[in-house]
Amino acid sequence: MESERNGGLARHAAGFAEKLVTEGYTRESVTRQLDVLAHLGSWLDRQGLGTDTLGEVLERYVAARKAEGHRRYRSKRGLKPLIGYLSSVGVVQSEMQSVHPSEHEEILAPFRRYLAEERKLLPATVSDYAYYADLFLDRVPIAARKDLSLLGGADVAAIVSTVCRERSHSWAKNFTAATRALLRFLFLEEELPHNLVGSVLSAATWRRSTLPQALDKAQVSMLLESCDPKAIAGRRDRAVLVLALRLGLRAAEIAALSLDDVNWRTGEVIVHGKGGRLDRLPLPADVGEAIVDYLRYERPPTLSRSVFIKALAPRVGISGKTVEGLVRRAGRRAGIGLIGPHRLRHTAATALLRGGASLAEIGQLLRHEHLETTAGYARVDFAALAPLALPWPRLSA
C-alpha cells in the first residue's frame, strides 16, 4: 500500500464531504469532520508517517488529540466516519483488521468468510462469532496453537468449562454455538484431524422451564400509543412495533427490510431470515398503513434502500440492536417494563393461536424449521387448555 505524505489526505476531502452529505450530516457536522481530516493529515506529516501506518498509530493519534485539548472526535468511535471512509477508498486497511488486529487473524479472517458465504449468517452474527472464537483461541494450549492438530477433545471441554463458569446462561449459549462453528470450520479445512464439535457441552438449562410471556391486548395498545408521531422517530418506532407484533419478525429481519422487499401491488413482503433464507409473507393492512405513514411523513431523504433509517446521521439503515433498543424504550414508556423483540414475537404467535390458527400455520409465519419449536406456544393458550383439565378430587366429609 503506497504511503501518502505532505498532506496526502487533503485530496480525499471532497469525496469524504460528499459521502457525509448523502448520509444526512448537517453542514456544521461536515465542516467539523473535514477539520479532523486536515488535522489528521497534519499530524501524520509532523510524525513523518504515511497513511499506510494509520491502522497501527490510530491510538497514538487519539491520545494526541486529547493531549491538545480537543473536545470532539477524540476516540476511535468518534473517528469512525473518517476511518470508515478512508478504508472504503483503500487508503487504510479495514477497521476490523487495522484498529485491533488479533494474533489469530490468520484463522479468524477465513472463518468470517466461511460464516458469511457458506453459512449465510448476518454481519452482526459473523462479528459476534468471531469475537467468541477469538476468546476460545486465546485459551488453546501453547503447543496446540503452533499445531492445531494437537488440540484434543479434553482441551476443548476444559476451555469451554473454564470460560463459561462465571458467565450467564445466555452468554454461555452464544460462546458454545460459536465454538462449535469454529471447530466445524477447522475440521472442514483439515486443520483438525477429528471433528471436535461433540466435545463442546451444551449450556445447562431446563427445556421449556418458563412460559413465554405474551403481552395482552391492553399492553399492546399501551405499547403502540407510547410512540408519539410528533417525537423523533415516533412513526418509525410504531411501524417497527407493528411489524413485530403482527408478523413476528426478528430484530435483524426488521432491520434488513429494503424498499425493494415490499410489493404494494400484491400486498406481500420478502423477509430475509436466518441462513440467507427468503420468505414471502402477506402484508396486513395495518402493517402497511404504519409503514406508509413513516415513509410519507418521517423517513429522511437518503440514498439508502433500507425501509427504516437511523434518526440521526449517518442516514443509513438501522441495525438489529437499534430495533432492540427502541423496543426496550417503548416498553419503559408504556410502563410495561423490560421487554425485547422476541417477546413481541411470542405475542404474535400467541394471538394467532388464540385466534384459531393451527401450529402448522403459526410455524409457517414464524418460519420455524421444526414443528417442535412452534409447539411451545401451545402452552400459553390457557383458554383452550382449560376444558382438558380434570376436576380436582374432593374428599367427602
Q: What are the cell numbers at 208?
A: 421449556
The dotted CATH code for 105-199 is: 1.10.150.130
Query: Within the chain, how many helices (H) and strands (E) appear?
Result: 19, 3
3-state SS, residue 309: strand
C-alpha cell at 392: 380436582
CB 33 within 8 A of CB 16: yes
Which of 154, 137, 297, 159 lies closest to 229, judged by CA? 297
Parallel, antiparallel or unpaired: strands 278-282 and 262-263: unpaired
Q: What is the pLDDT of residues 98-143, one digit of tens each?
A: 444 568 889 999 999 999 889 988 777 888 899 999 999 999 998 8
Q: Is the pLDDT of residue 27 over 80?
A: yes
Whether 237 shows a pLDDT value over 90: the answer reads yes
The residue to which cell 402497511 is assigned: 288
Percent of the chain with pLDDT over 90: 53
pLDDT per residue as tens digits for the range 368-394: 877 767 766 655 555 554 554 556 666
Res 2: pLDDT = 40
pTM value > 0.75 = no
What span, in angstroms and rounded, lies between the C-alpha atoms of 139 and 364? 42
Here the cell at position 49 is: 508517517
Tally Cβ neighbours within 10 Å of residue 374: 21
84 pLDDT band (50/70/90 cuts)?
Answer: confident
Architecture per CATH, 220-341: Orthogonal Bundle (1.10)
pLDDT band at 97 (very low <50, low <70, confident <90, very high): very low
Could you state, in order of their start, the residue ranges of all structural domains in the chain? 8-98, 105-199, 220-341
DSSP assignments along 183-204, one per residue:
HHHHHHTTSSSS--GGGSPPPP
Q: How high does pLDDT run on average in the chain?
A: 86
Beta bridge partner(s), residue 280:
270
What is the CB neighbour count within 10 angstroms for residue 104? 18
- Per-residue pLDDT band for 6 (boundaries 50, 70, 90) equals very low
C-alpha–C-alpha distance, residues 81 and 78, integer Å: 7
- pLDDT value at position 388? 45
Q: Is pLDDT larger for residue 17 or for residue 274?
A: 17
Residue 45: CB atoms within 10 Å: 16
Q: Which residues are the active-site residues?
A: 250, 274, 342, 345, 368, 377
Backbone φ/ψ region at 356: left (φ over 0), alpha (ψ -120 to 50), beta? left
